[in-house]
Amino acid sequence: DTAVSQTPKYLVTQMGNDKSIKCEQNLGHDTMYWYKQDSKKFLKIMFSYNNKELIINETVPNRFSPKSPDKAHLNLHINSLELGDSAVYFCASSPLGAYGYTFGSGTRLTVV
């Protein structure tokens, strides 16, 4: 079983659309994250979330919103997609207070 799974793996959509990327972890971890990797391969954290708090990177536009229906899921919703949102988005999880971060395999979003 994949520890952190993301769907879809590829997503091509038009500007202005609203889309979601799903993430599920079966590791029992307390905290989940979303990272964005741009075309230059630079990785930046977007959000971290556990059942107590959401921490948002202040550079993330408010068109992006994480939604967690339960501890094992953290989905990423993006409204009014723009060309600059094209990137690979990685979900990750970790046990709170411990060292291990496990990453999903990424979702390549292309906005046309």
Q: Site residues (CB under 8 A) for other proteins?
A: 31, 33, 35, 40-45, 48, 50, 53, 55, 90, 92, 94-106
Secondary structure (3-state) at 85:
helix
Query: How far, rounded to the nearest angstrom, does the alpha carbon of residue 74 sit from its chain's CA centroid?
Result: 7
In the bound complex, what is the minimum distance in angstroms from residue 94's beta carbon to other proteins? 5
Smaller CB separation from other proteins, 27 or 101 = 101
In the bound complex, what is the minimum distance in angstroms from residue 98's beta carbon to other proteins? 7
Smaller CB separation from other proteins, 28 or 99 = 99
In the bound complex, what is the minimum distance in angstroms from residue 72's beta carbon to other proteins? 17
Smaller CB separation from other proteins, 35 or 64 = 35
